[in-house]
Structures are given as structure tokens and as C-alpha cells.
A = this chain, B = another copy of it.
Amino acid sequence: MNNFDFKNPTKIIFGKDTIQQLENEIPKDAKVLLLYGGGSIKKNGIYDQVKTALAKVDVMEFGGIPANPEYATLMNALKVIKEEKITYLLAVGGGSVIDGTKFLSAAALFEGDTPWDILTNNIRTEKGMPFGTVLTLPATGSEMNSGAVITRAETKEKLAMGGPGLFPKFSILDPQVIKSIPTRQLANGITDAFSHVLEQYMTYPIDALLQDRFAESILQTLIEVAPKVLKDPTDYKAAANFMWSCTMALNGLIQKGVPTDWSVHAIGHELTALFGIDHARTLAIIAPSHYKFNFDDKKAKLAQYAERVWNIKEGSVDNKANAAIEKTEAFFNELGIDTKLSDYTKGYEGTAEKISQRFTERGWLGLGEHKTLSPDKVEKIVKMAY
């Protein structure tokens, strides 16, 4: 096991009818900017619940934060924050709204030239404007971590940021929100959380026995509840387990003391930036090819995953590892998620070369748990995923 530091100060408020507890979490004298996305919260009743809970607080609003939160839109929100002397941010939405709010939390107190520098220069945010979240879409885990990914349309870039100042003060998780989420988004959420676990688990054994078992626990739980959630999003029991699994998948715990990969995300982000493919689906496209290409590096862990998560006890390490990749791809397919780039777009020729070139230009010369996944290897993986 590697040495590690772990600290996660976010307060989670989990369960039925918990949105009303907002009232106790936001300081009475705060000037709040409520941030949200395309407006679904006005149709499903969440907006009304939030406004009722905040009746005694000074609240302004900024809606329209898109999926893959867009820099230009966020800069408009930043203007509001500065002009209106906002002191507290409240994200009501999924990962995109929460990530956008994290960018604003950092940008509001940033003293450099332009907030884009936070992303391009990898500036860690030690202190941000305080913010809380009401999660409306389980998937990214952003509600209990300190990372964010921001997109800039004009340059077709999608970059990550973070720092200890970007943990939400609180996050409210009411599994009842799931009943109004479209099936497509639920499938994305399951795939996203599942992929988050794989990025932190599918590397090589390092005798981190408990972390491995926790990772396997989340995978097993997602596999168990996925068909129930998709069949009946009003099934509270399934929804609650789905929601808590998504949070635990990326709140830092399972990556402590172990090597992590994150190549699938790095490559997947490019597919979103280039083609607008849903984030989770880009992960499902890349992961199987990635595991096949790096088979020798990952087969010990793939075989462990086969045994413990998919109950494949027979055969050699290679057999089990291959079966695990097939099971994973089949799981995504059963959720209605296609796993080839050609399923999503025409005109994908040249994509592999383009991504490889971008990684070279950014100096991303060795990704993955061994820091050896070079741009030429990335090119081959993407081609395998066509």
C-alpha cells in the first residue's frame, strides 16, 4: 500500500425529503447565487423545494449552465457574482452544474490575470467561495470531492481543476430526485460511476486489500441496482443505493494508497470535446479497448475483478481477465450504452491521430498507472475503439 493523505470535510445530508434542510446549512446573512442548468428543476419540483427552504435568505439566480460546463457561460455568472457581491454559491443540478460552481468558487477569489489560467496552469485552489449543492443527478461524485472539469467551446478543450478549497460545504442527496431523470441520463450516471471505480481499481495489485474490496463493493452494488433503477426510477431502495454508490465512487476514499489510471477519462474527454458525445458514453467507448491494449499490465487485476465481481472462478488468469472485459462491455450494452465510436458518429477517421497529436502538444507523454501510455499508444487504443 502506498502512503496517503485523506481528508474530506463535505457534510452529506442523505435521504427522503432532505432538501428542506437547506435552511440550516446556509448562513442567514449570506447573499446566495443559486446556479442551475437547463431548467428541468422547474418542472420536477426541486426548484420550488429549494426556494421554499431559502425563503428567509437573499437569493439571486443564474440558470442555463450546460452539460460540460462552458467557460463563456460561467464567465457571465462570474460577472453576476462580482457585481452583486455574492458571498455563497448553491449548485442545484448534476455534475456539470456542480463542476461549474466549483470553477466559480475558485474564480471568484482568483487574483491572477484570467480565470482560464486556473485550468491551463494547473493552479490548485486552496480557498474558494463557500458553496453547497443539491444533487439532482447521481453520476459524477462531484458532490463530495474537490475536482471539476470545465469545457471551452472556442478551443474545443476540456480540462480539469481542483484543490482542497473546492469541497462543497454540504451536499443534499435526496434519492427521490431520480424518479424524474430520463432513462438515458440514468444509464449515463450508472456508467459514469462504474467507470470512476474502474479508473481507481483496474491497475495492478498492491496489497491494498480493503480499498480493493470497497471498490468491488461499489461495482457489485451498481450491477445489482442498475436494472432496477432503469426499470422503475420510483423504486426508492434502488435509487438510494445507486445515489450513495455514485458518491462513494469518487469521493477519494477508494483511491487512497493505490495506483490510479484515469487514461480512459483523458481520452474520453477528447471525444466529448470533438463530437459532443455524452461523457459517460465516451468512457464506455474507450475502456474495453484500453483494457485489451494494456492487457498484460492489467490482467492480474482484471482476473481478480472477474472472480469477485462477476463470479468467474474457472479458467486461467488470461481467460478470466478476457471474460471480465467482455462482461464489462455487455453490462454497458445492457444499459443501452454503445461501446464503439462508430455507433455515435460518422466522420471519425483521423480522430485517433488528432487526439494523439493534442496529447503530444500538451506534453501528456505518459498517462496511466505506470506513466507509460504514450500518445502513439493512445492512438492505437482509439483506433481499436472505432
Contacts and interface: CB of A to CB of B under 8 A. Distances in A.
Contacts of A208: 241
Interface in A201-246: 207-211, 213-214, 216-218, 220-221, 224-225, 237, 240-241, 244-245
Contacts of A216: 213, 217
A4 to B, nearest CB: 5
A377 interface: no
A310 to B, nearest CB: 15
Interface stretch (A13-21, A71-79, A89-97, A331-339): A13-21
Contacts of A292: none
A15 B4 contact: yes
A7 interface: yes
A257 interface: yes
Nearest to A11: B7
Given A1-B240, A240-B1, A241-B1, A248 B210 contact: yes
A322 interface: no
A114 interface: no
Contact of A5 (B13, B213, B240, B257): B13
B209 A224 contact: yes
Nearest to A212: B217
Contact of A11 (B5, B15, B224): B5
Contacts of A220: 213
A256 interface: yes
B1 A5 contact: no
A237 B10 contact: no
A237 B1 contact: yes
Contacts of A1: 15, 237, 240-241, 244
- Interface size on A, as a range, is 35 or more
Given A14-B5, A214-B214, A257 B237 contact: no
A296 B15 CA distance: 29
A220 B209 CA distance: 9
A155 interface: no
A363 to B, nearest CB: 29
A220 to B, nearest CB: 6
B210 A245 contact: yes
A141 to B, nearest CB: 13
Interface in A165-211: 207-211
B11 A6 contact: yes
A213 B209 contact: no
Contact of A244 (B18, B245, B257): B257
A29 B244 CA distance: 41
Contacts of A257: 14-15, 240, 244
A12 interface: yes
B4 A14 contact: yes
A40 interface: no
A192 to B, nearest CB: 16
Contacts of A9: 7-9
A121 interface: no
Contact of A207 (B11, B14, B16, B237): B237
A2 interface: yes
Given A1-B240, A209-B225, A210-B245, 17 more contacts: A1-B15, A1-B244, A3-B15, A3-B18, A4-B14, A5-B13, A5-B14, A6-B14, A9-B9, A15-B257, A207-B237, A209-B241, A210-B221, A210-B241, A213-B216, A214-B217, A217-B217
12 contacts: A3-B14, A4-B12, A4-B15, A5-B11, A7-B9, A9-B9, A207-B240, A207-B241, A209-B224, A209-B241, A210-B217, A210-B248
